[in-house]
Amino acid sequence: GAGVSQSPSNKVTEKGKDVELRCDPISGHTALYWYRQRLGQGLEFLIYFQGNSAPDKSGLPSDRFSAERTGESVSTLTIQRTQQEDSAVYLCASSLALHPEQFFGPGTRLTVL
Amino acid sequence: GQNIDQPTEMTATEGAIVQINCTYQTSGFNGLFWYQQHAGEAPTFLSYNVLDGLEEKGRFSSFLSRSKGYSYLLLKELQMKDSASYLCAVREDRRAGYALNFGKGTSLLVTP
């Protein structure tokens, strides 16, 4: 079946602009995660959604970052007033509820000029 | 917070065995994971340890010692396609679900 998909695959934006990244999880996966991977760094957890429960936002680096998910489907990660340090690959992963194996999407490479 | 340390790079020969170590410090350990990431691709799940001991899955095995804050990934009968980055990740009690904290990864190069 189809895996996790993300769009766009690449995004170049100017400092100060807002960007919106999209993730389509695997059908039936109630858990959804966003991570960020800066060049030369490990993946950083950003936010976690599980069904209709309140999301775990403990990894969001600032109030410029927000994410939404409607039910158990698509999620969007929004970064407002982008800064150069926001440049990274943003990865989305999904899994079955309370299952350890996460399936990652191909990522969105964000470049802030 | 926590620290996850693993070697930056390793090189091994095709057909050989390689062990990639990972040490971690965390306030509330709740599982250790290994992922494989080929250049430019998404990470893929390899293994999960929550209890001490060795978990074997084909050519790959993963070991955990919670008292030592230590894990290793063992790759046997290395193949050229095993050249990739290997990511050690820890799950903490303070995070919901299986939200993970990752190390920087170990870049493994398999040579003929």
Q: How far is Cα A102 from Cα A6, in angstroms, rounded to an integer?
A: 15
Q: How far is Cα A23 from Cα A6, in angstroms, rounded to an integer?
A: 5
Give the 3-state secondary structure percentages of chain B, helix then strand then coil, rounded to 5: 5, 60, 40
- CB-defined contacts A:B, below 8 A: 67
**In this complex, do B98 and A102 lie within 8 Å of one another by their Cβ atoms?**
yes
Q: Which of A44, A45, A91 sits opposite B42 (nearest CB)?
A: A91
Q: Which of B87, B98, B104 sits opposite A95 (nearest CB)?
A: B98
Which carries the bigger pLDDT value, residue B14 or residue A73? B14
**In this complex, do A99 and B99 lie within 8 Å of one another by their Cβ atoms?**
no
Say if residue A8 is preceded by a cis peptide, omega within 30 of 0. yes
**In this complex, do A41 and B94 lie within 8 Å of one another by their Cβ atoms?**
no
CA distance A61 to chain B (A): 14
Residue type, B22: C
**In this complex, do B104 and A33 lie within 8 Å of one another by their Cβ atoms?**
no
CA distance A98 to chain B (A): 6
**In this complex, do A56 and B98 lie within 8 Å of one another by their Cβ atoms?**
no
pLDDT single digits (tens) A50-91: 988 889 999 999 999 999 998 888 999 999 999 999 999 999
Pair of tokens at residue B47: 């293994």
Nearest chain B residue to A98, by CA? B97
Pair of tokens at residue B108: 């493994």
pLDDT single digits (tens) B21-72: 999 998 888 999 999 999 988 999 999 999 999 999 999 999 999 999 999 9
| Statement: residue B1 has pLDDT above 90 | no
Beta-sheet pairing, A31-37 with A43-50: antiparallel
Q: Which of A40, A45, A103 sits opposite B99 (nearest CB)?
A: A45
Residues 6+ apart with CB under 8 A from A43: A35, A36, A37, A91, B43, B87, B89, B100, B102
Q: How far is Cα B9 from Cα A101, in angstroms, rounded to an integer?
A: 25
Residue type, A111: T
Q: DSSP E strands: which ranges in B14-83?
A: 18-25, 29-37, 44-49, 53-57, 60-65, 70-75
pLDDT single digits (tens) A6-17: 999 999 999 999
Q: How far is Cα A83 from Cα A98, in angstroms, rounded to an integer?
A: 34
Q: Is B50 helix (H, G, I), strand (E, B) or coil?
A: coil
Q: So what's the pLDDT on residue B2?
A: 59
CA distance A94 to chain B (A): 10
